[in-house]
Each structure stands twice: as C-alpha cells, then as structure tokens.
Structure 1
Amino acid sequence: MAIASPQPEPPSETTSLLAEHDEHPVQRKSATRRAHRVLLSACLIAVTLDFGNYLSVAPQLQAFESIICQRLHPELFANIPGGGLPLVASPSCKSADVQGDLALLKGWMNTFDQLPGIILALPYGLMADRIGRKPVLAMSLLGIIMEEIAIRFISIWFTPLFQIIGGGSQITNSVAWTIIADVFPVEKRAWIMSSSIWIPWMLGLVCEIVGALIVLLLPETKPKSAGNPGGEVESEIANRPEGSPAFTWSSIVRFARSQITELKDFVCEYPSSLVVSLAFFMSSYGIVAVSFMLQYVSRRFSWSLAEASLLIAVKGVLNCLALVLILPMVSKLLGRYFAPVKRDHRITLGSACILVSGFGFMSLASHPALFVVGVALVALGWGYYAALRSVSSALVGQSHIGLLNTTMALAQSVGLMVSGPLLAGLFRAGLAWDGIWMGLPWMFGVTLYVAAGLAVYCLHIPS
C-alpha cells in the first residue's frame, strides 16, 4: 500500500479562502526536506558502519586464524618474540584442520550473535511502534558498539550478551528500514537503500562508533496515528497503587501474551508476510556465505587474507554501481509498464536469478577469474533484499510496517543462526572431499536462492 500524498479536504463553511493554496505546498516542501534529512542520516550511518565492519573483517579473520594455528601448530610460532601474532600467516595455517576449526568458530559465533535478536525482536519491534524509531535505533547501535569493543579486549563468546541492549544488528536493520518506509513512498524505496592487524581492526571500531553517533541527527518518524500495542499493560502500570512495583510477573506474562496475539493477528490479516519471512529465512544463508568469502578464497586459491580482502572492494564498487545506476534505470524502465509494487516484485525475481547465477559461478570456479565473475554477479544481484523489503512494505498497512520489519528481522535472524554452523559443516565436508566439492557451500546457496525466488514468485501482488 503506497503512502498517500496529502490531499485537500472537501470545502465547508469553515474552510479558509486563502490558506488552502499556501498551506499544502509548504507542508509538502517541509515533508520533502525532512525525508531528505532522514535519507542522508541513514546513508551516513550505513556507510560508516559498513566501512568499519568491512575494514575489520580481514584483520579479525587473520587474528582468529593465527590463534587457532598457534594452538594446533605451536612449532610455527616458536621464533616470534613475546608470543604475539604474526603479520602474515604461515602457509601451514591454511591446512584443513586450521581452516575447519576457523569455519566452525565463525559459524558458532554467528549463531550466538543472532540469539538476542531472535528473543528480543518482537518486544523491540513493538517498542519502535509505540515509543518511536529513534530510541530503539540508538539502543541497538549502542549494543553493537559495546559488543565490538568487547570482542577486541575481553572475549568473543560472551559478547552477544551486549545485544540485549537494543537487540543487535537485525533490530538495527529492521528499524532503519521502518524509518525509510515512514518517509518515502513505495515507488522510491527499492533503490534508496544497500603495519599491524590491530590498526585496521581498531579503525573499523572507530568508524562504527562515528556511525552510531549520527543517529542523533535523525528525527523521529513514527506516525502519530500508529497503534499502541500493549496498551492494556501500560494502562495497568499507570493505574497501579502507589508504592507497588512497576512490573509484576502477571503483567509481564500478559504483556508477552499481548505480543503473541498482536503477531498472530498480523499474520492472519496479512498472510503474505509469512511468504516474505520464508524468503528472508532461506536467503539469509547467502549473507553468511558472502561474509565467509575471504576464508574460502584464501584456502581455495592460496591467497593471503590481505589479497582476498580486495574482493570486498570489488563487491562494494559493483554494489554501488547496481544501487546508484543500474537499479534506478531498471526501476524507471519497468515503471512505464507496471505499478510500483509489481515493478519491485519483478526486480526482486530478477535479482534472485542473478544471485543464483553468481553462486553457481563461485561453486564451480577452479580459477580466481571465474570466482571474481561470480562475486560480480552476486554484487549486482544484492539489491534483492532491498527490493523484497519494498514489496513487503507495500503489502501491509502503514501502521504495521514496524511489526512487518520486525517479523522479517526475526525470520532472517533464525536463518542466520542456522546458516553459520551449516556453512561450517559444508565447508569442512568440502575440504575432506576436495576437488569440485570445495564449492559445496556455494552449491547449497544456489539451492536456497532458487527456493527463495520461488517463494517470492508465489506472492500475491494486488493489481
């Protein structure tokens, strides 16, 4: 359902004869400025967070690889003073035992990283609809920053606990997309969005902190007419006797029950949300697989992690090309023949086909050039996620967009949680079988993207 533009009210006896012509253009101009401010802030947050994240990927992976290698092959580190980590990993660290343990570590880290978001997705989603998007976004960014700091200085296994503050990256994505949907009509949503290893790793953290601070520039976008889920619980708390505790077990249980009822009513009213959630669940494997790309290339083609990290730049450049140039052109071309929702639906299907092709090339690549072709195709099809969110946002009422994005974030979190250990197991099996089977993680990705594309194809798009 598209966001309607402000329409003039029918004239009556109290209608001003002069104000009608001056008021609406001013309102539209103010709304446009506000939308552009939201978009600029969202882009700055996304760019700085992504820059910090990708800047940290290679050094973090090398640190983990060296630690595992040092544990399994201590003789390789005998000549390093102080027992520190080497700047360049030994070729022996590319052995199957080290890489298998590294894949398993990354897989389970990813699984534990998703648990807080899965448990807290619905409460934070309803909170975003009730108290506003900005506070929830700020909380989730704070939790992410605290987790990143803890990974570098404390431990990697307990750091997901920091995501209790805000729910983690999936809540961040969910709220960010809700903010975009609040201020932009459906026809514009699909293309708007997408010397020591410690030095770049710490620079990545600095960039993420800067990105989190930009949230202060965001205005609140929650519609004033949005529903107030959980109102009964709020009323109970407001009317409680003075001196009694703010929350009791019974009120917490009632609040949880109201959340489940809200979600059930939402799914019954919009069954297409289940199909979209299923598509996000299956395609979430691709997100984990792409983040695993550096380790795979380093092992498959005997590249250093520094060399393999150049693929991140290739994917980033082509992502920008797709989102800034190709996707808007395709969107404009299809817009001549289809309504906005049907246009975005076809863009989603086309992007899914490109992702299938990209993963197919990556699974069969026996030479780096062929693998780079696959990476390029994946980058060009990465608009799939943005287009699918745009389609799904147009299929529900405006007041339910926050809950829809939370439902999709929940499905994606479950998919990411399952995908980590699954991908690690497939990679270890590929290492054992060797040959073409080393591409087993990408082969499985082809299957899942085909299934996700079929789910999107089955979506009922209103005429």
Structure 2
Amino acid sequence: MHAKLPTLCYVLLIVLFYYIEEGIQYPATIRLLENAICHQHYARAGDTNLPVDETLCKIGVVQDRLAFIRGWYSFWTTLPVLLLGTFFGDLADKFGRRRVLSLAVFGMICGLAWVFVTCNFWDSLPLELAWLTALCRCVGGGPFVAIALYMTMASDLSTDENRSQILYVVSAFKFGVEIIAPQLASVLLRHSLWLPYLICGISLFMIFPCIAMMPETLPLKQASDAAFPSNFTESNTNPFSYMRFFTNKAVALGLVVDFLLQFRYNTLQILIPFISVRFSWAIEKAAKLLSIIPGVSLILFVALTFLTDMLRRRWSLRPARFNVLVLRAIIFALAAGVLLIAVSASIGAFVFALVIFAIGFNTRAPVLAYISGHIDPVHDTARLYTLISILDAFVHMAGSPLIEILWARGLDIGGDWLALPFIISGLFYLAALILAVLLPYPPTTDPSMVRNASREHSPLLATTGEEEED
C-alpha cells in the first residue's frame, strides 16, 4: 500500500536527500583529494611526519595538482550523460521517471564508494583512478539525469498557470536544504574524512524508498495516444530528433541562454579553493560561506512565489510574462556579482559580492518555466529536460578543465590574477544577459497543445487513491 501523501511531497523528499548528499559531498571530495595529493607530495619528499596538517596543503604544487585532478575528474564523469543522456531521457518518457531515477541514484552510490577507495589508498593507488567514476555514471546517467528527472516530475504535476510557482517551490525547498548541508559538512569534516561520505551514501540510499512509494508521474499513455499520431513519438527515439527543439525560436534562444548560464557551476567549483587560498581559510571553514548562496536564493524564490501569485490575482499579470522579467533581472545580478567577487580585496567585500552573486545564481527555475511554456508537455517534457541536462553536462565537461586551468594560471601569476576565472565567467553571463533581453514573451494560448488530458491523473498536492505495483 502506498502512503497517502501528495505526490509533490515525494518529489520534495527526493530533493531533500539528493541535496544533502550533494552539499556534503562537494567540500568533502575537495578535502579528500587535497589530503591525498598532499600526503603523496610530502611522502615523496621523504617527510615521515604523517598525517600532514591541512595548512601545509595550500602550497602551489599541491593546489596545481588538485586543480588538474578535479578538472579532468569533472570532464570524465560528465561524459556518460553526453553519450547516454538521450537514451535515458527516452526511457523516462516510455517506461516512467522512477525506474530511470533509481538507476541514476545507484550509479552515484557506486561512484561515491570508488572515489573514497581511491583517496583512502593514496599510498598505493594513483589518484587518476578516481576518473573511473565515469563508469559508475554510465548506470543511469549520474547527477545530471537525476536532476532532470526530479524537475520533470515537478513539471508533470504542474499546469500552464502554476508551472512557474511549482518550479519555484521545488527550487526554494532545494535552497533550504543547501543552507543546512554545507554547515553539516563543515561539522563532519572536523571529525574525519570518511564520515561525510558515509552520510552521503545513506542519504542517497534513502531516495529508494521515496521512489518505491510514490506514484508514477509520467502522463497517461492513453491520453497522449488519443491526442497525437503514433509515429510522432516513434520519431523522437532518434537522438537527432532532439534538434527539433532548436527549430522553435523561443525554445532555441532559451536553451542558448541556459547554456551560457551553466558556467555558474564552474564558477562555484573554484569558490572554496579561492576562499581557502586568498584568505588562508581551511576548507571546512570556507565551505560554510556556500550557505550564503542558497540562503539568499531561498528568500528570493519565496518572495517571487508570492509576488507572482499576487500580480496574477490583483493585476492579471500573466506569470509567464513576469517570469521573463525576473529572468533578466537575476542574470544581471549574476554578472554583477561575479565581477565584484573578482575585485574583492577583503572577506567583507567578498561576502557582499557573494550575496549579489547568489541573487542571480539560481536561474534554472525561471529558464525551465520559460522554455516549458513553448513545448508539448505530453511527449516532450522529459526529452527537453534531458536535452538541457546534456547541454549542461557539455558545459560542465568543457568548462571544468578550463576553469581549473585558469585557476592554476592565476595561482602561478599570483596577486589579483587569482580572480582570472571569475573575470572570464563574467563575460559568459554578460552574453547571456544580452540574449535574455531578446527573449520573446510566451504566447497567451497554444491551441496546438493538448495539455489537460495528461494532468487529470495527478493533480498537484492531491493524494492519489491508486496503488501501484512494480
């Protein structure tokens, strides 16, 4: 028997456990790799006074190698979603979101275990073996597919009128989790390097009961078959069919904007090393500052959720139109924030810049809400979100080595050039801002889309009376 919980609650529980893992795993992995590299360096130098204190790991040779390992780690672990993302997207649209999400989570658990083993046996294993985590990501597609799927589930439960609000709610809940996770990571890292990874594994494992208990959100096949010819869905199984999204001007422009904005995660990738080196902070202390980003984002998105509803009720302003205006404003904040980070000379100035950066950091919800308003939700939602995850993965795969190379170059030059990665990132966000100004407003109606049939089976925040057996 399934628990009588609203379907969206299960999606939020998945978000909870996923981002607890992500928030702890991110600084923990940096520290694990740094610790292993640092011990290898001093062991080769003949230093037998082990373990090595973290303060001795901030030297250039250790940080350069850390940048090299992390950059190519991101490259290889992102490759599976580029090769298999469309395959898993089609599976999610044919056989359901839950099964594919289960595969992705299992692959992530295997990847966690492999990274820990590689770093724990630093004295006998080359750290480049951590790159083999990419093989684990071939099972389910990894984090990019997992994110695409839980956002797809949220979109499945929405309508044209409330899609922006629902994606805002999911994003706001995510930010709340991200406020807590770095603080928890900081506490755990003070005690040991293995404990954070244990908590990460448990958190990911807790997603399985949520998936097992929740109803499938995939729109009813009978409704889609009644509204569209059968050969329409068959043509979408070809990976090249994803290119048809670019024939719609609004969708294509939105995808390019999202592509450029994805570099913000590459910027985030070096925030902890930047704080640690520039202000001589330990990694566990620097990780605490990351809570600023979800904290500001949470306040912003809660405010936007209520503001959107108020404008719709009182002044009949369409949420889709307001969403475009919001998107442009937060992209401006993103560009301004990263450039302020580049010129910050003190920790106070850095925190102020980070707050501005945080206002514009989470552009995903407004971008998805905009693009989703221009597609057929019955057949294209999972495929579109998979395409976005593939584009994101491509940026991450290419951008991670690039940002680490820029960071290593900045370390070599020293001084103000430590901010070189932030300056380059700012150029991408300025380009995204220019394109966002050109985004057309969504149409008032789209009679070619049949939307209601696929929504009737799972109304938002309504409990389901159906039992589902795997």
- Give the TM-score band, short-chain normalised: 0.7 to 0.9
User: Which one is further off, 291-300 or 370-379?
Assistant: 370-379
The secondary structure found in structure 2 opposite 1:148 is: helix
What is the one-letter code of the residue matched to 1:292? I
- The question of 1:66 aligning with 2:62 is answered no
Which residue does 1:105 correspond to in 2?
69
- Whole-angstrom CA distance in 2 between matches of 1:343 and 1:303: 41
Q: 1:59 deviation in Å?
A: 2.9
SS of the residue aligned with 1:461? coil
Which runs of structure 2 are paired with 1:284-303 in the superposition (5 Å)?
284-303=262-281
Do residues 374 (structure 1) and 344 (structure 2) align? no
Amino acid at match of 1:39: L
**1:462 and 2:442 aligned:** yes
What is the Cα deviation at residue 198 of structure 1? 1.4
Q: Distance in 1 between matches of 2:87 and 2:210?
A: 24
Aligned to 1:208: 204
1:149-298 to 2 correspondences below 5 Å? 149-154=113-118, 155-186=129-160, 187=162, 188-194=165-171, 195-224=191-220, 225-226=223-224, 259-268=238-247, 270-298=248-276
CA RMSD of aligned residues (A): 2.7
C-alpha distance in 1 between matches for 2:200 and 2:283: 16
Picking from 104, 115, 139, the partner of 2:103 is: 139
Distance 2:237 2:18 in 1: 34
- SS class of match (2:6): helix
Deviations 1:346-371 (A, max 9, x none): 11111111111221221111111111
For the residues of structure 2 that align with 1:414 and 1:130, how far apart are their CA atoms?
Answer: 25
Map 1:89-100 onto structure 2 (within 5 A): 89-91=54-56, 93-100=57-64
Amino acid aligned to 2:138: I
**Alpha-carbon deviations, 1:122-147, whole Å to 9, x = none?**
11112211111121112211211221
Q: Deviations over 1:210-245 (max 9, x none)?
A: 23442223211111234699978x9xxxxxxxxxxx
Distance 1:171 1:222 in 2: 16
Aligned partners of 2:15 and 2:150 also within 8 Å: no
Give the TM-score, by structure 2 length.
0.79
- Determine which of 279, 289, 294 is the counterpart of 1:316: 294
Counterpart of 1:327 in structure 2 is: 304
Aligned 8 A contact 1:297 1:308 in 2: yes
CA deviation after TM superposition for structure 1 residue 117, in Å: 0.4
Q: Which residue of 2 aligns with 1:437?
A: 417
**Take 1:212 and 1:375, find their aligned partners in 2: how far apart are those partners?**
35
Cα 1:200–1:114, aligned 2, differ >3 Å: closer, same or farther? same
Q: Retained in 2: the 8 A contact 1:53–1:208?
A: no
Give the drift of 1:73: 3.2
The equivalent of 2:450 in structure 1 is: none
* Bigger mean CA deviation after superposition, 206-215 or 398-407: 206-215
Matches of 1:414 and 1:334 in 2, distance apart? Answer: 37
Task: Say whether the 8 Å CA contact 1:279–1:456 is kept in structure 2.
Answer: yes
Displacement of 1:261 after TM fit? Answer: 4.8
Partners of 2:264 and 2:311 in 1: CA distance: 26
Say whether residues 1:413 and 2:393 are aligned partners: yes
Alpha-carbon distance in structure 2 between the residues aligned to 1:111 and 1:280: 19
8 Å Cα contact 2:373/2:442 also seen in 1? no
Tell whether the 8 Å contact from 1:107 to 1:420 is kept in structure 2 after alignment: yes
For residue 280 of structure 2, give the secondary structure of its aligned residue in structure 1.
coil
Change (3 A) 1:219 1:444: same
Which aligned pairs between 1:111-122 and structure 2 lie closer than 5 A? Answer: 111-122=75-86
The DSSP-based 3-state class of the residue aligned with 2:361 is coil
Q: Find 2:403's aligned residue among 400, 419, 423.
A: 423
4+ long deviations beyond 4 Å: 227-232, 255-258
CA distance in 2, matches of 1:256, 1:372: 50
Q: Are residues 444 and 55 of structure 1, via their aligned partners in 2, closer, same or farther at CA, if it must alter by over 3 Å?
A: same
Contact 1:230 1:258 survives alignment (8 Å) = no
Measured in 2, the distance between the counterparts of 1:410 and 1:230 equals 27
Q: Check 1:227–1:305 CA distance in 2 against 1; reply closer, same or farther (3 A cut).
A: farther
- 1:54 alignment partner, one of 17, 23, 34: 23
- The equivalent of 2:431 in structure 1 is 451
**Letter of the structure 2 residue corresponding to residue 262 of structure 1:** S
**Cα deviations by residue, 1:242-289 (Å, 9 ceiling, x for unpaired):** xxxxxxxxxxxxx99951453244433x34332222222211111122
Asked if residue 358 in structure 1 is aligned to residue 343 in structure 2, the reply is no
Equivalent residues, number: 402
In the superposition, relative to structure 1, how do residues 138 and 172 fare at CA in structure 2: closer, same or farther (>3 Å)? Answer: same
The two structures have a TM-score, normalised by structure 1, of 0.80
Amino acid of the structure 2 residue aligned with 1:161: L
Task: Give how far 1:331 is off.
Answer: 2.6
Amino acid at match of 1:124: F
The structure that has the greater radius of gyration is 1
Query: Residues 54 and 312 of structure 1 are in contact (CA less than 8 Å); yes or no, is this contact kept in structure 2?
Result: no
1:54/1:114 Cα in 2 relative to 1: closer, same or farther (>3 Å)? same
Flag structure 1 segments of 5+ consecutive residues without an equivalent: 1-32, 235-254
